[in-house]
Every structure is written in structure tokens, then in C-alpha cells.
Structure 1
């Protein structure tokens, strides 16, 4: 009965049972070829080990532009070109250091790192009393009297009861994003944020802070979750604990960089554009393997497999390596700006992979309800490859600016349980990515693009 219902659903959408069988056979060809011949893992190894950390504005970021340009040419893209964009150039400077100091002068060294886009303390560092808050309401209650001249420590753990870890990340992320400015509002001289990590570990996790220009810009750091627990425990036992930290980061003038775009031209509807990509930049603490080297190499795989199997898309497929997702989103905005000016083209669909190279579980979509309902009728074809759900709500930061053009947005949703063990931390390295899981993600991305291209939305 269930099989009959699935076939009837496909028929209502204009599909026949024969078409479904044909698509299933094509899915198998694509999956088999990626499992056997994929270049994704080798390309990720090169990006991580031969290029390394790729923070916007850095020499490594520019090297990644040149190397992914080369990769897409070698994979067989019809056209590969660069799209210029100006990006922020923040540099971390010398390695950060921090000490917790009690009234007897006893010190304890803390694992910290500067938050992205933060101002630095300078070589002399900063020393002041540290106070703990767990919410903005607590900060407001302390007011200027309780905060002025002090270092505010935001100790807000990621909620372990959310199975969807990105929800916990969103809840905790407000303190990294707005926390330093909110502390500066009341006269704080520095801010420290508990790392946005799922587990208790020794790695400080960086990420962008966004200053409010109405308040002073104060130095901002992240502390490892293990040391966040230690500081919190010490503050409960001792009064007037002080903290010293030194950061030498600074924001330099914007520099020129590029998105890298590889195209396979459509044979029937070349002016209808399907976009797929990941962000090429990464934080400077590690190799950016899961965030987002995985998404980049998965996206490029469509070029290789289409050319290898002789698949000729009806619509133009653009594979985009976006620059500057991490601390500015300049690449995503530039791509949308240029797309808006391309009046003869319709940007019908965009897919982003920016949630790690783990086992794929689902796709999320930002789309009108009829479109989402049509997409959901394809789910049975994906189940043999590990994707069981097409859910409402999804996309990615870089493709988000395309939404005003009426573009349907999609995001690959891998299993998220381990992602925040590595996100923005020094252990986001090539060795943390499974070849099998990476390829499964690439397979499902190519399959989704295939059906959207073949049947439209």
C-alpha cells in the first residue's frame, strides 16, 4: 500500500512509475561513482594540509582561491571565474594568554582565544576584577555600579537537552555576538565568553563578535569550557578574583578577495540558475576541515560526477566557493548583488553545505508550501542514501541573500552531535573528517540537485 501511495504521488506531480525507476537507477549510478571515484576527500586533504587556515584577508585565503579555481578547472567545469569582493582583514597577532589571580597572588593559566573582529588589549594586557553573569538580565541587574571597570564573564552553557545542537548554538551565540558591547554599555573593560562547545574540553572556540558603535569597543575573548567551569567554581569560593589577559589582535583595512565560481551550462534552460556551495574561508586556529572545507569539496563533486557520467543539466549549475562567511558575509552578499543585476537570469534554487562533513540526515528548505510539498515527494528516493527528511526551514548564511529573488533555499543537515566539538576550534582538522561520511554528504547533494534540475520547482 505504501509503495502504491508513493507512485501515485509521483504521478500527481507528472512523474510516471517508469520515471521514478529511471531516477532510482540514476541515483545508484551517481552514488556508486562518488563512492568509487570521488575527489572530495583528496581535495579536502589538499585544502587543509597544503593551504591550511584560510581567514579572510590572509595569504592562505588567497591561496585557497587559486587552488579551488584550479580544482574546478581540472574537474571539468565549462567555465571557472573569479568574482571580486572586498573583505575584512582581521589578524589575531601573537598567541593570547590569560591568568586568574586571587588575593594572595596565586595564578592559574586559562585556555583562551580572542573573538573574531575583537580589538586587542595591546602588549601590556588588561587586568581587572572578573564577575560572572549567566544572562543579559543578570548583567542589567548589576548595572554600571556592578560592572564598571570589570571584566564580564558570560557563562552560558550550550543546552545539552536539545538534540538539535544548532538550536543550543543559537541560544548561546547571542553572548558571543552581542555580549562584549552589552558589557561595555555598563562600563566593563573586557569580556570573556564561555566557548560555544557541546562538551567539556580544553579548546577555546573563536567566532565573530559584533560591536555596537554606540558603546566603546572592549577586548573580547573565549575561554575553554573546562576552564569556564573552573573560573565559575573559583568565583563561588573567593571574592574579588582578578583576571589578566593579553591579546594583540587588530582590524586592518579591507582587502580584495574573490568568490570562485565554476559553471556547467544548462542545455534547455540556461538562464535558470541552480547554485550550490560552501564557504572557502575558515578561522585561523585550525584547518577548517568541517567548517567549511567539507562543504566546499562536496559542492565541487557535482562537476566531476556530471562530467564523468555524461549528465547534461537542463539548467545552469553554479558551484560557488564563497569568501568571508565567518566574519563579514561579504562573498554571499556580493554574489546576491551580482545575481540581482543579472536581469535575464532566474535564480531558482540554492543549496549550501555548512554544517560539517558528518553523516547526512536531512535537508532543510526555505520555500513556499507548494514547492516544499513537491520536494517532499522525492524523499523515498533519498532514503537508501541516509536522508530521511525534507523539513521546513533551511539554507545557509551565504545563500540567504538570494531569498529576496524568490530563490528556494536548501541546507544539508548532517548529524550534528559532534559538530560543536570542533566548530571554530583548533581541532577542526582533516583527521576529524570521515571519508565515507564526507562522500555520503556529497552524494545526497548531487542527488538533490539532479532532481531539481530535471523537474524544476
Structure 2
């Protein structure tokens, strides 16, 4: 009897050891291939430098769709297609201008940019007194008497003590998004938002804003000012509270236009109707070329399919990549994809997003049940040699968050975020700011997690 149990235990341990070694070897091969023969960096060079910025409704976005579809077709996948989606169109127009004008007649130019979705100023600009505040709560306390006919300057820096810089960003992003809507209620004639950036520089950072249900004739222009410009404006207001601020921009909103999500997949041989989804957004803001946000995520997602095809890994489940259009100012692409997926009764077992820049991968967040996370957490041992083993429970990225309602397990690649907001939504987000090796390590990490989910299930 004991001998029989010993034999069973021996074969169990042997089988486990063999499985572990095979998995470890396969993941090593995914890393090796990504770092030596992968396409991600060359893809990003073309997307960034030849296609350029890809704001929804722009020529760049149209060219990006054509490029992505062609590159996926070149991989000889089982299926590649585009999915129509109506997206908002907003055009920045000519270069924005702003200056600080003291009571002594001196004028100092500062760097600003329009927030995405903002209306223009009158053709001759706006010149008015500025009131500096830090929050919407402070705006409400001051009330209409103090705010009316003034430019509201929201000067709230990102928290430098927050090591996870995305948490520092989330604390303030609603100020950028809703500042103009709230200031309008108290008679403000424009809002200027301090750029969401942890570095003091002269690059203003754009981003989406919303007027909510504010009537068209009551909307006011919304701008972002560089961190150096914000510091200067704040110090000059303290010296001269009566100084004037001049702003001019001629951006414009247009009716929605037709665009597309780009989708490619390798069909699973065992569970073809169960989908492992790698999702990211193809669009970008217009100031830089969108290399970190989110060209890096685009090419890393495509690289998963390239790795599986090149290494002849036959997936048990269908591996699908979807490149959403219009993350930056509406999420139209992900909403349209989910709506159509529900109509077709598709089953998304797992959804993974890469949208935190092409920096060194540190691990993954998971939005799942405790039971599933316990299983997934055991896989982090395979990522320890690559310093990407930080697995934890957290909310997912915005593009895949909608899939939680379908019961999918959600995950996001987590990178070293210390430099991300130096580039995010600014003219600094360009190809030269992306490190080739860090980008490729991210591709390998995503490919490895997809392989584990496909091999062992959830």
C-alpha cells in the first residue's frame, strides 16, 4: 500500500516538474524571440514617424487603420477585419497663445494648449483677471460673486509622494475633465488647468474635457498650461492679484465621423468560441506622435500574434487582438466592439490591456474573483527572472473595464510609471522617448501571460 502511494507521489512530482520545466522553457523562448526577432520596435517606428498622431476623425487615424490592418494581414492570421464605429471629430486649429499681463504693462508668454473637446476663444482672444484655486470644492465655496467674468486657474499639482504615478493622476483627472463645466455655473469666462505632469517643464499636456449638459451658448474655452507656466502665473498673481491673463485658441468640434476598430485573431483548436482578448487603443492625442500613449500598446498587442505564429504555438483558445479607435475622448471603439460582441453572444474568457507606456514591465493587475487570482498569482514565479512578477488585484484599464459586466477576467500590464506623465498627452510623447529593450520586454511579458492563460485556463 505504502509502495503504491509512493509510486503515485513520485509520478505526480515528476509530472509537475516536467510541466514546470516545459512552461518555463516556453516563456523563455517568448522572451528570447521578442528581444531578438520581434517586430514591435520597427512597427512603432513606422506608426510614430510615418503615420504620426492619430486623433479620432483625423487623416492620421485613417492611415493608422489602414496600416494596422495591412500589418495584421501580413502575419497570415486566421482572420483580420475592421469594425465600423462613429467617433467624435475635434480639430485643434492654429497654435494656441497665452500671456501674463501685469498692471505695469509687462507681458510674458507662457505655453498652453487647448483641452480636447474645448471650444475656441473669440477671434480676438480673451483678456481677463485670473482667480487661482485648487479644486472644484474651492470653486463652489467662492461662488459666483468671486468667479464671474474671470478666468479660473486650477493650479493643483500632482502628488510627488505617490509612487504609483497613475494614482496621483487619477486624483486630478476629473478636475481637467469637469473644470470648465463646473466653472461655467459660476460665471467664469474660461478655465486654465495646470498640466498633469510631475516634472517642471514648458510642455503643456492636453487631454479630454467635457461640458456635460451645458448649453452650447454657455460653454467656455478650456486650456492646459505647462507646469513652468503654472508656477510663474501663480507667483505673479501673489505679487499682483489684479493682473490680466490673455488666451487665444481656435479649435473646433465637428459632427461625428466614420472610423474603424482593427481586429485580428488566431482561432483556437480546442475552444475556438472562447476568446482571449488583447485590447488597446489605436488613436492618440495630436501634440506628439503617440508613441507611449498608445503606440507601444498597439505594437505589443500585435507582437503577441506574431510570437504565436513565428514560434508555431497553436493556441487552445482563440487569441484575438482588437485595436480600438477613440479611447482618448469618448471610448466609442470599445463600446461599439462590446455591443457587437454581445449581439453575437461571444465569450471573452480573458481580456488584457496594455496602456501604460513602453516602459519596463513590472507585472500585471487583475480584476477577478479571489479564487481565480489565487491561481493566477502562482504564475508570477515564471516572471521573476524578468522582474515582472508583481501580480495584484486592482481595477482594469478603461478600454476593457466595460467587459467586467460580461464576466470576463480582466488584466492590465503594469510598467515602471515614473516617467510616463512627463510625456503623456504632450509634444514629448514621441518615438525617440521609447527604449527598444523596454518595449520588447513588455511584448514578451504580455505574450507569456496570454500563453499561460491559454495553456492552463482560468
TM-score exceeds 0.5: yes
Aligned length: 445
Corresponding residue of 1:401: 402
- Does 1:445 find its partner at 2:446? yes
Q: Look up the SS of the partner of 1:213 in the other structure.
A: coil
Q: CA RMSD in A?
A: 1.3
**Which secondary structure does the structure 2 equivalent of 1:378 belong to?**
helix
Cα distance between partner residues in 1 of 2:128 and 2:153: 12
Match of 1:365 in 2: 366
* Mapping of residues 25-424 of structure 1, within 5 Å: 25-214=25-214, 216-343=218-345, 345-424=346-425
Name whichever of 26-35 and 280-289 sits farther off: 26-35
Matches within 5 A, 1:14-25: 16-25=16-25
Q: What stretches of structure 1 move > 4 A for 4+ residues in a row? A: none
Q: Offset of 1:202 from its aligned partner? A: 0.6
Mapped to 1, the partners of 2:264 and 2:122 lie a distance apart of 43
Residues 218-271 of structure 1 show CA distances to partners (whole Å, capped at 9, x for unaligned) of: 100000000100000001010211111111011101000000001100000000
The superposition leaves residues 17-48 of structure 1 with CA deviations (integer Å, 9 ceiling, x where unpaired) of 22111100101111111111010000000000
State the 1:141 CA deviation.
Answer: 1.7
Aligned partners of 1:363 and 1:394 also within 8 Å: no
Distance 1:377 1:328 in 2: 36
The question of whether the paired residues in 2 share the 8 Å contact of 1:332 and 1:397 is answered with no
SS at match of 1:42: helix
Residues 391-436 of structure 1, C-alpha deviations (whole Å, 9 max, x = no match)? 1014211111111100111000000000000000001000000000
Q: What is the alpha-carbon distance in structure 1 between the residues aligned to residue 320 and residue 389 of structure 2?
A: 26
Q: Do 1:76 and 1:304's aligned partners in 2 also have CA atoms closer than 8 Å?
A: no
Runs of 5+ consecutive residues of structure 1 not aligned to the other structure: 1-7
> Which shows bigger deviation, 79-88 or 129-138?
129-138
User: Displacement of 1:79 after TM fit?
Assistant: 1.0
Q: Which runs of 5+ in 2 are unaligned?
A: 1-8
- Between 1:121-130 and 1:19-28, the stretch displaced more is 121-130
Mapped contact 1:261–1:320 kept (Cα < 8 A): yes
For the residues of structure 2 that align with 1:386 and 1:78, how far apart are their CA atoms?
33
Q: Residues of 2 paired with 1:17 and 1:217: CA distance? A: 65
Distance (Å, rounded) in 2 between the aligned partners of 1:46 and 1:212 = 37
